[in-house]
Chain A
Amino acid sequence: MKVLFQLFLTFARIGGFTFGGGYAMLPMIQSEIVERKKWATEEEIMNYYAVSQCTPGVIAVNTATFVGYKLRGGVGAVAATVGVVTPSVIIILIIAAFIRNFLEYDAVRYALNGINVAVAVLVLNAVINLWKKGVKNIFGYIMFAIALAFSIFTDWSPIFVVIGAILFGIVYGVYSGRKAGKGK
């Protein structure tokens, strides 16, 4: 029961401080889930992110569900998911009911511009972390470059990048496995 409550609280904190959608949540997840609670490894989080790209639904919510399920099965999945959406629901309901013009306040706009800069820094750090853990050889460099180029220069859905990467990974695995087999 205590773990369920912690799952709820931790993901509520993550949801409450994620500005700008799924990717911006990664630094919070790394700090809360990987470093502080040690509920999952960096590699596992990356796997969840990858799978969340090609499963339907909101990426941030899917990642929460994955972590919750890993810790406490179905109930854990529900606790983490309810946690990650709760701040959104409360904040949006307050804005919709009372302060519909809240974006017109200068202070809000200035604060959001500052937050944007912070998010850029945090996501850059997340990329550096992931690079150190997940991109280790020439194959990794190529996959990284292709994925980066595709999402900057085309309007294609990231699903195609994900599916392509799966196929390349399998082919590369078979190829390098064969080479290792010959070496023996």
Chain B
Amino acid sequence: MNVFLALMLEFFKIGLFAIGGGLATLPFLYEIANKYDWLDVSVMSDMIAVSESTPGPIGVNMATYCGYNAGFSEAGVAGGIAGGILSTFALVLPSVIIVIIVSKVLERFKNSTLVDNAFKGLRPAVCGLIAAACYDVFKSACLETELFKESDNLSKLFDIKALILFVILFLLTRKFKKIHPIFIIIPAAIVGILFKM
């Protein structure tokens, strides 16, 4: 099968069946790597690392990267660009259609007490899910869990530089509540470079 056609088909499938965010697409990507020769398992870890550390939704980044690799192996840089764009398009197409349908349904049942009650249960639960995500980010940004496990020394658990930056940024954002996230992210990147974090 033509590489571009296969790309679109596979990423459409991922968009349709991967529920729960970017990392849910991983098992699908491994399946693709097993099935076709244009995606190599050895480049997967590199692709995941790049997708996680560049801006944008992780799932979208992986689709673009994977599409570029596949298209490149077929037709050089131009093929890579086409592959990246096509895979991304195929990935988001099913969810756009589904979300529009869900929006229409929700609109119709806007005044139903059943839907209202469902959301009353959902909102605090989603807050809990995001708090858990926050804990994960904090752990990877400010704690050295590996170092702590090896040494069993509590003073090794904290990445002091990161922790100080965390406290300063947190106090700043509590003081200036309307500050735009971009003005937190960019200075943090600069501080990271200056202090070799």
Contact = CB atoms under 8 A, between A and B. Distances in A.
A55 B178 contact: no
A17 B182 contact: yes
> Which secondary structure dominates chain A's binding surface?
helix
A54 interface: yes
Contacts of A24: 133, 137
Contacts of A43: 123
B55 A88 contact: yes
A77 B100 contact: yes
A97 B127 contact: no
A157 to B, nearest CB: 5
Contacts, number: 377
B184 A121 contact: yes
Contact of B64 (A35, A89, A115): A89
A116 B53 CA distance: 9
Contact of A22 (B57, B127, B134, B173): B57
Interface string B1-41: 00000000000000111111111110000000000000000
A123 B182 CA distance: 13
Contacts of A159: 19-20
Contacts of B138: 120, 124
B152 interface: no
B76 to A, nearest CB: 10
Interface in B108-130: 113-114, 116-130
A162 interface: yes
B42 interface: no
Contacts of B84: 89, 92-93, 96
> Which secondary structure dominates chain B's binding surface?
helix
Interface of B: 15-25, 46, 49-61, 64-65, 68-69, 72, 77, 80-81, 84-85, 88, 91-92, 94-96, 98-100, 102-103, 106, 113-114, 116-135, 137-138, 140-142, 162, 165-166, 169-170, 173-174, 178, 180-182, 184-185, 187-193, 195-197
A180 B16 CA distance: 42
Nearest to A96: B68
Interface residues of A, number: 110
A171 to B, nearest CB: 8
B133 to A, nearest CB: 4
Contacts of A89: 60, 64, 84-85, 88
